[in-house]
Structure formats: structure tokens, C-alpha cells
Amino acid sequence: MSISDHIKDIKNELSQDIILIAVSKTRSVSEMQEAYECGIRDFGENKVQELITKYDKLPNIRWHFIGNLQKNKVKYLVDKVYLIHSLDSIRLLKEIEKQYKKKDKIAQVLIEINIGEETSKGGIILSELQELINAVEICSNVKVKGLMAIIPKGSEEECRYYFKSMKSIWDRLSNESYKNIEMKYLSMGMTNDYKLAIEEGANTIRIGEGIFGKRIYRRE
């Protein structure tokens, strides 16, 4: 199946309110072009340099940074990304605030939650979430627009458990009154589990292989 066929199949399953992010890491501009011609305007990258390289190759893109963000790379994303999905610490928050304030820009971010508390994954653990929220509230150039998670691999029952847990946190925060925080996006679900994620409340999904096919890794 072609990229366009994959996109058509996925879109046929989605309601209008679901945002489909095409994860374009390691993909060529020509592959992205095919997705673009099928109406995709949200693309996700997990490496800053790759995003910058592709930044001006297609018009009217909403770029999403979905990978682990190092403090020394934040400055390169200012005024280039629509949404940073991976705010996971106060240290990173302070750097985003600093770099965006320098250019008088507002950073839109999602708090990434390590819902399975896996040491191999990024994200803040729940016991530290409130401290991060408190720090966001005193910022002037950072606005939290929702939550993101990459759940542990497991059975359907286990996946649903983590997705439900994320939706519960999202709902709780939605009912609070904040200055710099609103629950607009719940970003969870990827190629193998996005249908479950949507059933449990996700409104933003991130799909790479499901759109572009399996990656081919070439030796240097």
C-alpha cells in the first residue's frame, strides 16, 4: 500500500475532532510530500536537527516536536514548532521560558507524563506533576495545552488501563482553574494502539509506520 492509501484508511476511521500527526522522523521530504498532498499538515519530529533541516521544505506545516528535548537545543525551536510534546522537568521548563522570552514568543507545550514509570522512557512521574504545574503557573512565555504519554507495551487490557489513567488526569486538570494551563490536547496512541487510545479519550494521535511503512535503516 502507498502512503496515500494508508492515510485514507486511517482518516476513514477518525472523527473530525481527532488530530493526526504524521511522525516523519527519518523520512524523506518526498515521502512527506505524498502525505502532504493527502491533506496532512501536522508533522512530528523527534530530533531538533532533522526538524530544522526539513522546516522550510513544505508550506503551512504545523510542526510538532515529540522527542526528548535537550536544554541546549531549545533555542533552535523558538518560533518554528506549533507544539512541544515533551515538557518533562522544571529544568527544561526554565530553559523554554528563557529562550522564548528572549524572542518575545510564546511556547505551546504538552506535559509528558511517564504513566508507566519506566526508566527507559521520558516524562515526569505523577508524584512530581504538581510541582511542575506550580512552576508553569509563574511563567510568562510558556503555555501548557495538554498532556502527552507513551504508554508501556502490553496487552489490550494493560493499554486501556494506562490510557484511562491519562484521561483521568487530563479530566481532573480540565476542571481546575489555571492561568497558563488548559487541557486542549491529549496526545497518546501510535501505530499499534491508536484505536484503543481514541476509544479511551485521546484527541491527538502520532502515527509513523502506519502511514509511511516500516523504516529502512541503511548502514553508513
In this prediction, residues 80-103 reach a mean pLDDT of: 98
Q: Where are the domains of the chain?
A: 3-207
Percent of the chain with pLDDT over 90: 94
Q: Confidence band (pLDDT; 50, 70, 90) for 219? A: very low
Whose CA is closest to 112, among 168, 150, 64, 162? 150
Radius of gyration for the alpha carbons in the chain, expressed in angstroms and rounded: 17
Instruction: Give 111-166 pLDDT, tens digit per residue.
Output: 999 999 999 899 999 999 999 999 999 999 999 999 999 999 999 999 999 999 99
The C-alpha atoms of residue 220 and residue 102 are separated, in whole angstroms, by 38
Strands (E), 5-121: 19-23, 42-45, 62-65, 83-87, 107-112
Domain made up of 3-207: CATH architecture: Alpha-Beta Barrel (3.20)
